[in-house]
Amino acid sequence: MANSELSTDVAIIGGGLGGVSAALAAARLGSTVVLVEELDWLGGQLTSQGVPPDEHPWIEHLTASQSYADFRAAIRAYYRRHLPLTDAAQARVRLNPGQGNVSSLCHEPWVAVKVIDELLAPHIASGMVRVLRRHRTLKAESHADNVRAVYLLDLDANVEKVLTARIFIDATEIGDLLEMAGVEHVFGAEAQSQTSELHALPEADPFDQQAITWCLAADYLPDEDHTIEKPRDYDRLRTLQLDCWPGPQLSWTLSDFVTHEPRERPLFVGPTDTESLYDLWHARRIAYRQNFRPGSYASDITLANWPQMDYWERPVVGVSPEEQARALNDARDLSLAFFYWMQTEAPRHDGGHGYPGLRLRGDVLGTSDGLAKQAYYREGRRIRAEFTVLEQHIGVAARPGSDAAESFEDSVGIGAYRIDLHPSTRGRNTVDIDSFPFQIPLGALLPVRVENLLPACKNLGTTRITNGAYREHATEWSIGEAAGALAAFALARSQPLRSVRADKESLRDFQRTLGQQGVLLAWPTFGALTPTRRVGYQFASGR
């Protein structure tokens, strides 16, 4: 059968937050878009990976763009329209459905999926956006310095399709299109001799990669028994321990993110209805039963993305498909092993052992097994860019005497998060350090050679160190929005992408266009914005 052929102005490969915001931005500015996603859900880390938003402490007062503020408002509006909130919760301006501690908007992933679909709906109806869910990207075709086409497999119809576009955007979770299209890129850790960063490694190591996590959702019914089948390899995993870690992986004892001192982090610190800034249950709780009318939620629901589930035994980027599949399967097993350990062996807050009433909740993740649809990837391939963001540009310790991040003349957005690196596949401990609120430079979106491809998420021009700050939800949205807007802006003016940055007048025109779309290009100068510091487990109280 001949391949089905599709053509569009902008082809976006990957339906995570960056892909979605890129599609919205490009369509608003007049470009047709085809958005390709292998899964049936859009939203990436927020939805199919099961990670509630990690956001900076000013998010309720100052979002990076109007579109992200609209997205957050739409999530709250969905709860108010469709879910049985109490009168008190309905009236709460800053409704936090889960009352989780990592964000003032912890919510169920399936709700974000619904809201993303609503945001895209007008553009789909007008014919500006076409979404291809359940389509796997097989390969890319490039000629000279341009990507010509990507080849897709419709997983439901088992039909191959060829997608051509004037501009391609890589919004995949680990930069798969960069590899397929032969775009110059890097992965893993750079050497200090390359970047002069304080926290870079003495020698470059592409296979020194942050742990991935296969998240899961659970509720707790203390009078019931929902113990799962003992996972394979459980006996080995229950004693697994990093050399730098103070205890076995399956325990409440952790290495403090910042100090590396031993730290106890149990599931509950007291009665299960106690509010806590410290225990695991309340960290990423996505449904708080008392926000809903009696009888509508049998229990709180929490999202488990916890250090005990960090899988560091094997890398997943730059390895063979077989090695990657093995690592992903092992990551799933580790998460299930920790869940089983909590159900059967974990020291309880009341002195006993095991919480058999813990129940997997795949329904809020769109799965039957309780685990997320895909792993949470903290890093992937990053383009070799015209400009690379270094620790010296945003890190507090790397900017002695400064009270702000580097100011970029070519800023196309803003973001804020700590430089946060999880344990690595080489057994290294966390790097969790203060950073200043920062800008997104246009130069970090431009590959050194390829003319018609842009990154839309954590695959922009950062180092492994600075990627630890640029990878979070709100910043990914802003990266994608800048990429989609740049594509549409350049196409409307029949202008090469690279020339928008190279020509000062074009750059100013593009920045004005972003401003008209509600994008902030710089942090406000009134008052003082302190570095993003970690206080317990909390950035925003959510109350």
Please tell me the predicted confidence (pLDDT) of residue 65.
94
Q: What is the dihedral of CA 26, 502, 188, 169, to 10 degrees?
A: 20
Mean pLDDT, to the nearest integer, of 64-87?
97
The answer to whether residues 20 and 154 belong to one domain is yes
Please tell me the predicted confidence (pLDDT) of residue 147.
98
Task: Provide the 3-class DSSP secondary structure of residue 491.
Answer: helix
Integer Cα distance of 73 and 66 in angstroms: 10
The answer to whether residues 47 and 174 belong to one domain is yes
**Is 56 inside any structural domain?**
yes
Integer Cα distance of 10 and 454 in angstroms: 10
Please, are residues 439 and 410 in contact by the beta-carbon 8 Å criterion?
A: no
The answer to whether residues 399 and 460 belong to one domain is yes
**Is 372 inside any structural domain?**
no
pTM of the model: 0.96
Please tell me the predicted confidence (pLDDT) of residue 529.
57
Give the 3-state secondary structure of 394-414: HECCCCCCCCCCCCCCCEEEE
CATH number of the CATH domain containing 146: 3.50.50.60
- Residue 152 in tokens: 């897709």
Q: State pLDDT tens for residues 357-410.
A: 999 999 999 999 999 999 999 999 999 999 999 999 999 999 999 999 999 999
Q: State pLDDT tens for residues 267-279.
A: 998 777 676 767 9
Please tell me the predicted confidence (pLDDT) of residue 1.
41
The answer to whether residues 180 and 231 belong to one domain is no
Please tell me the predicted confidence (pLDDT) of residue 177.
98
pLDDT higher than threshold 90 for residue 437: yes
The answer to whether residues 229 and 183 belong to one domain is no
The answer to whether residues 512 and 426 belong to one domain is yes
Band of the pLDDT at 521, cuts 50, 70, 90? very high
The answer to whether residues 286 and 325 belong to one domain is yes
**Is 198 inside any structural domain?**
no
Q: What is the DSSP letter of 435?
A: B
pLDDT higher than threshold 80 for residue 292: yes
147: nearest Cα among 109, 187, 178, 124: 178
Please tell me the predicted confidence (pLDDT) of residue 537.
34
**Is 65 inside any structural domain?**
yes
The answer to whether residues 327 and 294 belong to one domain is yes
The answer to whether residues 462 and 512 belong to one domain is yes
- Residue 362 in tokens: 């795949």
**How many structural domains comprise the chain?**
2
**Is 531 inside any structural domain?**
no
The answer to whether residues 358 and 504 belong to one domain is no
Tell me whether strands 135-143 and 129-132 are parallel, antiparallel or unpaired.
Answer: unpaired
Which residue type is seen at 87? Answer: D
Among the three residues 299, 331, 364, which one is the final residue of a domain in this structure? 364
Domain that holds residue 353: 212-364
Q: What is the DSSP letter of 8?
A: E
Please tell me the predicted confidence (pLDDT) of residue 161.
98
* Buried/exposed code over 403-412 (b: 16+ C-beta within 10 A; e: otherwise): ebbeebebbb
Q: State pLDDT tens for residues 160-193.
A: 999 999 999 999 999 999 999 999 999 999 999 9
Band of the pLDDT at 543, cuts 50, 70, 90? very low
**Is 540 inside any structural domain?**
no
Half-sphere exposure of 244 (CA within 13 A, CB side): 16
Which residue type is seen at 367? Answer: T
Band of the pLDDT at 436, cuts 50, 70, 90? very high
**Is 101 inside any structural domain?**
yes
The answer to whether residues 148 and 234 belong to one domain is no
Q: CA triplet 449, 455, 461: central angle to 5 degrees?
A: 70
Please tell me the predicted confidence (pLDDT) of residue 532.
63
In this structure, the number of other CB atoms found within 10 A of the CB of residue 93 comes to 6
The pLDDT mean for the chain works out to: 95
Among the three residues 313, 341, 364, which one is the final residue of a domain in this structure? 364
Tell me whether strands 33-36 and 129-132 are parallel, antiparallel or unpaired.
Answer: parallel
Among the three residues 364, 387, 417, which one is the final residue of a domain in this structure? 364
Mean pLDDT, to the nearest integer, of 197-216?
98
Mean pLDDT, to the nearest integer, of 193-204?
97
Please tell me the predicted confidence (pLDDT) of residue 526.
52
Mean pLDDT, to the nearest integer, of 28-49?
98
For 325-333, the CB contacts below 8 A with 24+ separation are 327/212, 328/212, 328/214, 328/375, 330/233, 331/212, 331/213, 331/214, 331/375, 332/214, 332/371, 332/375, 333/231, 333/232, 333/233, 333/237
Q: What is the DSSP letter of 215?
A: -
Please tell me the predicted confidence (pLDDT) of residue 244.
95
Distance set, CA 40 to CA 132, 150, 168, 348, 367 (Å): 9, 19, 21, 38, 11
pLDDT higher than threshold 60 for residue 117: yes
- Give me the count of residues in the chain: 543
Please tell me the predicted confidence (pLDDT) of residue 54.
87
The answer to whether residues 18 and 167 belong to one domain is yes
Please tell me the predicted confidence (pLDDT) of residue 527.
52
**Is 84 inside any structural domain?**
yes
